[in-house]
Amino acid sequence: MGILKRLFKGKDPKSIDYIIFDLETTGLNPRTAEIIEIAAIKIRDGVISETFHSFAKPKFGIKERAFKINGITAEMLESAEDITDVLPQFAHFIGNSKLIGYNIASYDLPLLRRFAEESNIEFLNEYLDVYPMAVDRVPNLPNNKLTTIASYLLVDTNSAHRAINDCIMTKECYEKLLGMPIVERHSKGKKQYRANYSDQTKALQHLQAILIGIVNDGKITTEEVEYLNQWLINNEELCGNYPYDRVAIVVRDVLEDQKIESEELEEMLVMFNEFIAPQTATSVVLDQFNLDGKNIVLSGDFDFGTKNDIANLIQDNGGIIKSGVSGKTDYVIVGAKGSADWSCGNYGTKIKRAMELQDAGKDIAIITESDLFSLIN
C-alpha cells in the first residue's frame, strides 16, 4: 500500500480518524489562484462527526468561468471574511489530524501553504492524496477527475464542485478504493488495463469508460456521439458482445437521418446510464416481488453480511440460490460493496449475462442489495 502503510503505520485505514478537506478557488494555478471556499469533514469511527465551512473574499475578484464551475455567487462572497481570518479557524479545526483529499499534493496543499505562510501558520499534518490511489486502481477511465472516478464507483456526483459536497464525495471514493487492488499495468500506451484480461474484455472496459466520460456531466453532445460512433466502427470485432451491440444500434439509429434531435440525446443519456450501472436501472414493484420459488443469483460483496448470510436469508424466504445466470433466472441480486474482480468495473459477468438475456426477451430483474431489503421489509 506504500503511502497508506506509512500514514497509518500498520493499522487498518478504515479504523483511523482523519479529516477530508477541499478548496474552491479562483483559478487552476496554485501559485496565483485565491481561495474562496474551504470545507472539511471530520471522520470518527468511519462517520462524519463534525464539519467546517467558510467562504473567503478574494482580493482580486473572480472570473465568470469560475463562478460557473463551482456554483459560488458574488452574493455568497460579499460578506465573507478575508482568507487571513479564515485560515486560523481552519487550522484550529484540523489540529494535528491526518488529512485526506483529492489531488491535494499538487494543488490544495501548495495553495493552502502559500496563504498560510503569509499568516505565519504552518500546515505540517500527515496527509494522503486519493488521486494516485484512483489512478492505480481504476486506470482505464477517460480522465482522472474526481467526478469521473465517483461516477465509475457509483458515488453520487450531484452538487459537485462545492467544497463540502466534494469532501463527502472524496470520502466515499476513498472508502471504495481501499477495498480495490492496485491494477497491473502494461508498459506501453496511454490506456492501461489488468494484465490478465483478454483483449476483448479490455476493449469492453474501454467502451464503458468512454460511456462514463460522456454521461459524466449529465448531457450528451453531438461531438461525443460522433466520437463514440467512430470508436464503434474501429472496434467492430466486438460485434456479438454486450453492450457493444446495443450501443452500436442506438448510435446508428440516431445518426441515420444525419440530424440529431435533443430528445434523442436525452434518450441516449438514460440508456448509457443503464449500460454503466444496470443494477440501478431495474425497478421492481413491491406487490409483484416474491422470492418464493424464484431462481436467484448473487453477485458482488454485501453490506448486510457475507454472501452466505444473504443466501440463507433468501432461502428462508423461499428463494432458490443458483451459481450462474441462465434463461431460468428470476433475480440477480447485486451487493452494495461490488467486487474488485468485476471485469466491467461496475458489474461482472453475471450481470452482463443477465443484461444479454434481458435483451433476448427474458424476464430477469437485476436488483440492488438495498432494494432487496426494502422489498423484503
Element (H, E) at 244: helix 244-255
Q: CA 20 to CA 168: how far, in whole Å?
A: 8
Q: CA 377 to CA 372: how far, in whole Å?
A: 9
- Residue 278: its pLDDT value, please? 64
95 neighbors 7 (Cβ within 8 angstroms)? no
Mean pLDDT in consecutive groups of 10 residues from the start of the chain, 377 residues = 49 76 87 91 94 91 62 78 94 95 92 89 91 85 82 74 87 89 55 53 77 78 87 86 83 82 82 70 60 90 86 91 90 76 61 80 84 76
Looking at the chain, the number of H-run helices and the number of E-run strands are 15, 9
Please provide residue 4's backbone torsions phi and psi, each rounded to the nearest 5 degrees. Answer: -65, -45
- Residue 187: its pLDDT value, please? 43
112 neighbors 35 (Cβ within 8 angstroms)? yes
195 neighbors 84 (Cβ within 8 angstroms)? no
Lookup result for grid cell 425497478:
283
Longest dimension (CA), the chain: 70
365 neighbors 331 (Cβ within 8 angstroms)? yes
- Residue 195: its pLDDT value, please? 42
For the chain, which residues make up each domain, given as ranges? 3-178, 199-276, 286-376
CATH superfamily of 3-178: Ribonuclease H-like superfamily/Ribonuclease H (3.30.420.10)
Contacts of 70 (CB under 8 A, 6+ apart): 24, 36, 37, 161, 162
- Residue 94: its pLDDT value, please? 96
Domain 286-376: give its CATH architecture. Answer: 3-Layer(aba) Sandwich (3.40)
338 neighbors 302 (Cβ within 8 angstroms)? no
Taking Cα atoms as reference points, which of 375, 360, 362 lies closest to residue 319? Answer: 375
Predicted TM-score of the model (pTM): 0.53
* Cis, bond preceding 243 (omega within 30 deg of 0): yes
- Residue 339: its pLDDT value, please? 57
Backbone dihedral region for residue 185 (phi beyond 0: left; psi -120 to 50: alpha; all else: beta): beta
69 burial type by CB count under 10 A (0-12 exposed, 13-18 middle, 19+ buried)? middle
Taking Cα atoms as reference points, which of 172, 169, 171 lies closest to residue 161? Answer: 169
3-state secondary structure of 86: helix
**CA of residue 66 relative to chain centroid, distance:** 23
Contacts of 187 (CB under 8 A, 6+ apart): none
- Residue 172: its pLDDT value, please? 92
Please provide residue 144's backbone torsions phi and psi, each rounded to the nearest 5 degrees. Answer: -110, 25
- Residue 341: its pLDDT value, please? 52
- Residue 294: its pLDDT value, please? 92
- Residue 213: its pLDDT value, please? 75
Residue 356 one-letter amino acid? E
